[in-house]
Amino acid sequence: MSDKPIYLTRDGEVAEMVLNRPDKLNALNHEIWQTIPKLVREVADDDAIKVLIVRGVTPKAFAAGADIAEFPVVHASEQSATAYHNDIHEAFEALATLVKPTIAQIQGICFGGGCALALCCDIRYGDDTSRYCIPPAKLGIAYSLGETKRLTDLVGPSKAKEMLMGAKVLDADEALATGLLTRLFPAADLARETRAYAESLCGLSQFTIRAVKQIVQSIGEGATADNELSRSLQRAAFKGPDYREGRDAFLEKRTAAFTYR
Ligand code: COA
């Protein structure tokens, strides 16, 4: 067990980024924000890793948001506040733009910056203990456009406003119904089901999975028709090893062994 507030573990082709401040419900301190891009880079650079799961170390919380106890220090001057918010922005961007698929595995409290971090993952699997809230209105702060967009893209403008204006807490059923949560499991099944999905991805074409991620990202940025990115991915696919292997495996009635990294 690491004593660091965030750490990476590897098991086969799946890595886990673990938030590790259980006595503070994994509140995200400055050190965590600064470490996230480094850990994400490690995952990106390691060809042996295909999928990243992000989770809290305690069943009580994914994360209870940014560490409010640090606010007086990080907001002591305009300079320190700018540096702090840049670090948070870089952490979100690093996770959201990791080329490999990411899954947030959510138990308990998933509030504020913790919820925003989960929104940077491709998929959110939660259990029936999970609760979701983004409460800037309780702190008198303005929420960033990037994070507001990620929430709005998932749940729609009306639900996003209801959550943000009212600091409304969603239980797991509501989070599933709004689309914030991708899938809901009983607490006893969450880790196993998350792992099973992650491992199922490892057996498929990483070229296709990463292409899906980039194209959905492009749609989120406003693309409505095929663009240079989607065309170049389609061209590259038919020249790549995974297409040949997938096609041959189907014709030869065997399981494909994809090699793209
Ligand atoms: N920042 C710093 N510390 C936090 C924290 C946060 N965002 N959220 C929880 N903690 C700390 C508490 O101060 C407490 O520490 P202590 O035992 O040293 O006093 C510990 O974590 C446990 O939290 P507690 O409030 O006692 O748990 P609870 O189950 O009664 O309540 C919450 C859980 C999530 C409702 C409550 O902790 C809370 O409202 N947290 C703030 C959430 C928030 O506003 N996040 C957005 C930040 S921008």
* Partners of 28 in beta bridges: 66
Q: Which pair of tokens denotes residue 98?
A: 């990791």
User: What spacing in Å lies between the alpha carbon of 209 and ligand 1's midpoint?
Assistant: 37
C-alpha triplet 171, 200, 184: angle, nearest 5°: 10
Confidence of residue 90 (pLDDT cuts 50, 70, 90): very high
Q: Write the DSSP assignment of 2-31 as a string of letters.
A: --SSEEEEEETTEEEEEE--GGGTT-B-HH
- Measured by CA distance, the residue closest to atom 22 of ligand 1 is 24
Confidence of residue 218 (pLDDT cuts 50, 70, 90): very high
As a whole number, mean pLDDT of residues 98-113 equals 98
CA pair distance 224, 219, nearest whole angstrom: 6
Instruction: Work out which ligand 1 atom sits closest to the CA atom of 60.
Output: 29
* pLDDT score of 201 more than 80: yes
User: What spacing in Å lies between the alpha carbon of 64 and ligand 1's midpoint?
Assistant: 6
As a whole number, mean pLDDT of residues 196-222 equals 97
Best of 25, 84, 106, 141 for a ligand 1 pocket test (most atoms within 8 Å of beta carbon): 25
Helices 112-119, 78-97: inter-axial angle, 10-degree rounding: 40
CA pair distance 63, 259, nearest whole angstrom: 36
Whether the pTM exceeds 0.95: the reply is: yes
CA pair distance 45, 100, nearest whole angstrom: 10
φ and ψ at 109, to 5 degrees? -70, 130
User: What spacing in Å lies between the alpha carbon of 91 and ligand 1's midpoint?
Assistant: 21
φ and ψ at 178, to 5 degrees? -80, -15
Instruction: Work out which ligand 1 atom sits closest to the CA atom of 141.
Output: 48
Q: Which helix (H) or strand (E) holds 133?
A: strand 131-133
CA pair distance 117, 60, nearest whole angstrom: 17
* pLDDT score of 58 more than 80: yes
Share of the chain above pLDDT 70, in %: 100
CA pair distance 174, 176, nearest whole angstrom: 5
pLDDT at 104: 99
User: What spacing in Å lies between the alpha carbon of 143 and ligand 1's midpoint?
Assistant: 19
CA pair distance 37, 190, nearest whole angstrom: 26
Determine whether the shortest distance from the Cβ of 63 to ligand 1 is under 6 A.
no
Q: CA dist 118 to 75, 168, 244, 248, Å?
A: 24, 17, 35, 38
* pLDDT score of 131 more than 80: yes
φ and ψ at 212, to 5 degrees? -55, -45
Confidence of residue 155 (pLDDT cuts 50, 70, 90): very high
Q: What is the mean pLDDT of the chain?
A: 97
pLDDT at 1: 72
Share of the chain above pLDDT 90, in %: 99
Determine whether the shortest distance from the Cβ of 69 to ligand 1 is under 6 A.
yes
User: What spacing in Å lies between the alpha carbon of 182 and ligand 1's midpoint?
Assistant: 25
